Chains A and B, each alone.
Chain A
Amino acid sequence: MIGSDIPRRAAVGVAILVLLLAIPVLGLDEYWIYILTIGFYYAILASSWSLLVGYVGRISFAHVAISGLGAYTSAAANSALGLPLLVSIPLAGVVTGLVGLAIGRLCLRLHGAYLGLTTIAFSEIVRIAFTAEYEFTRGSLGLPAVSLFETTDRIPYYYSFLALLAACLLIMWLVLRSRIGLFFAAVREDEDAAASLGVKVVRWKIFAFTFSSIIAGIAGGFYAHFVQLVTPSMMSIQEMGFVLSMAVVGGFHNIFYAALGGIFLEILLEGMREIGEWRMTIFATAVILILRYAPNGLFGMLLKRISGRRSRP
């Protein structure tokens, strides 16, 4: 349903995927392979956040907290309960899906600033609780997690995260181009009108929270076993700021643009490491300028230029 320019966009997507598949073969430095792998993690977070904000019109600042919950769930389920990663990572998705469902129900009648502030409060409650608690989470020292692969080679991680990103984008795209995507758009545009036309507004708002939380949780589960140490800092408001910047700079009305924003900004973040905290100032300025002058994001603007067509949410 969403996007009438599918063949052209699919061609661009396939080209980008082929390029990303070829990068390790082309002999890119291992350090940048590592950075790109983290970029794929952020791309999943940025795109699943944009699904909620750009498609359903529901703001959330709890997305990295939910991803962090996924990371802790998988790490703890593996180390404390002895569950294999094939079980503990999907379990992270189940747990965060239930948390997303609870947030969705709690926030049903909240909009705009009220919804945003509620999700910030939730995010901080989770982060502070995991910092203050020591027996299970080891507080700010962090919870060790086993590695995904028994190798120090970065390339298996690179391809795993790329496959996960592709799978998440494919699933989100299939949902968004189905009738559910239209119901999301109707809810975003006008809840009363949607309800008067038979759209179950409550159901789809809760579904959107649950769905995006499952994706964030699974990404967090994978991430735990990549970095091998889960700390409360991955749930910080600053981390949420990164994800928000990535989605906005890429284009949060489109999951693919938001994902590209995640990869692009992670590369930029590392490339500008020498200037330290000034990077954050530059990113924040970029967010303000893009919201003002290019609301479809850098990649939305770029595709519009290339195709000469208007890009619609």
Chain B
Amino acid sequence: MTAQLVTQGIVKRFGGLTALDHVSIEIETGELLGLIGPNGSGKTTFLNVLSGFYRPEQGDVRFEGQSVVGREPSALAAAGIARSFQVTKIFRRISVLENLLVPGLTDWSVTPRQAAEKALKILDGLELGRLAAEPAANLSGGQAKLLEFGRIMMLEPKLVLLDEPFGGVHPTLKHLMHDTIRDWNARGTTIILISHDMGSIFDLCRRIAALQNGKVIAHGLPDAVRNDPAVLQAYLGTGSTRAAV
């Protein structure tokens, strides 16, 4: 296995707040990394740096050997980095199918017919096929999360960044999302998963990194991170000794 994504000493500040403080992480091709940490620890900021929405003040992000700092999010999407958002960002006033056609048609060599065929297959797999013609605004919160998954699948990315995909999702849909994530990963897609749902994190991820105050305080195998004193302190406060997660 080779490192697909390498971050070296990433620093991101917002005024006087240091959101990311020399974050260095390596992620191998085909890995499924869980990113945990309390609210405000810098998880989403880290994803925003990786996906090109934020430019770090210091440090470098290398994807497949190339520095990607300063590249536009659309260019990174074309290079194979796709993401979801903590607060779902579906295109509410166009149809469910059209939501998938947007990423599908950014490649000008793909015809609308080819994109539509692919999109319908994906929607069927996500149990959204019968809603293809519906305005996306009519979807439930969980279905909207699945729609974001569908849009990501249209891009056939090499690296997927998932930001709190299970928030407010019904257990049945969550099960489908777990299966989808496992399926992507089984096909060789690298995944970084942010979640406060520790059950999902420990169920899905083979390696976990924990952030607090913008710093990586622990990383490694799930059991090691679960029992790491720094992680226990971050989640339960000073003096905690029992497993936090």
Interface residues of A (CB under 8 A from B): 1, 4, 179, 182-183, 185-186, 188-190, 192-202, 312-313
Contacts and interface: CB of A to CB of B under 8 A. Distances in A.
B112 A1 contact: yes
B91 A312 contact: no
Nearest to A183: B102
A182 B98 contact: yes
A185 B106 contact: no
Contacts of A1: 98, 101, 112
Interface stretch (B57-65, B74-82, B183-191, B193-201): B74-82
B135 interface: yes
Given A189-B93, A189-B94, A196 B51 contact: yes
B135 A185 contact: no
Contact of A197 (B53, B77, B92, B135): B77
B72 A195 contact: yes
Contacts of B92: 189
A182 B119 CA distance: 15
Instruction: Kindly list the 9 A-B residue pairs having the minimum CB-CB distance in the complex, ordered from nearest.
Output: A198-B106, A193-B89, A198-B77, A197-B103, A189-B91, A195-B73, A179-B105, A186-B102, A190-B89
**Residue from A179, A200, A202 whose CB has the most chain B CB atoms within 10 Å:** A179
Nearest to A177: B112
A200 B78 CA distance: 10
B83 interface: yes
Contacts of B95: 312
B93 A312 contact: yes
Given A4-B133, A193-B89, A182 B102 contact: yes
A199 B106 contact: yes
A194 B72 CA distance: 12
B226 interface: no
B27 interface: no
B215 interface: no
A313 B93 contact: yes
Contacts of B102: 182-183, 185-186, 194, 197, 199
A199 B74 contact: yes
Judged by DSSP, the binding face of A is helix
A1 B115 CA distance: 12
Nearest to B110: A179
A183 B115 CA distance: 14
A183 B51 CA distance: 19
B85 A193 contact: yes
B29 to A, nearest CB: 21
For chain B, give the interface size range.
20 to 34
Given A182-B98, A199-B74, A199-B102, A193 B90 contact: yes
Given A192-B53, A195-B73, A200-B74, A312 B106 contact: no
Contact of B155 (A185, A190, A197): A197
Contacts of A189: 90-94
A198 B155 contact: yes
Nearest to A190: B89
A196 B93 contact: no
A135 to B, nearest CB: 45
B151 interface: yes
A196 B83 contact: yes
Given A185-B102, A193-B90, A197-B151, 6 more contacts: A189-B91, A192-B73, A192-B89, A195-B53, A196-B89, A200-B72
A58 to B, nearest CB: 15
Contacts of A183: 102, 105-106
B78 A193 contact: no
B112 to A, nearest CB: 7
- Most A Cβ at <10 Å: residue of B52, B93, B106: B106
A53 B140 CA distance: 28
30 contacts: A4-B133, A179-B108, A179-B112, A182-B101, A182-B102, A183-B105, A185-B91, A185-B93, A185-B102, A189-B90, A189-B93, A190-B89, A192-B73, A192-B89, A193-B85, A193-B89, A193-B90, A194-B91, A195-B52, A195-B73, A196-B51, A196-B53, A196-B77, A196-B83, A197-B82, A197-B154, A198-B78, A199-B102, A199-B103, A202-B72
B37 to A, nearest CB: 22
B74 A201 contact: yes
A195 B91 contact: no
A291 B97 CA distance: 29
Given A179-B112, A182-B101, A185-B98, A195 B77 contact: yes
B187 to A, nearest CB: 20
A202 B98 CA distance: 21
B106 A190 contact: no
A193 B101 contact: no
B91 A186 contact: yes
A75 B100 CA distance: 47
A50 B44 CA distance: 36
A146 B102 CA distance: 47
Contacts of A190: 89-91
A266 B83 CA distance: 48
A200 B74 CA distance: 6
Most buried by B among A182, A183, A188, A201: A182
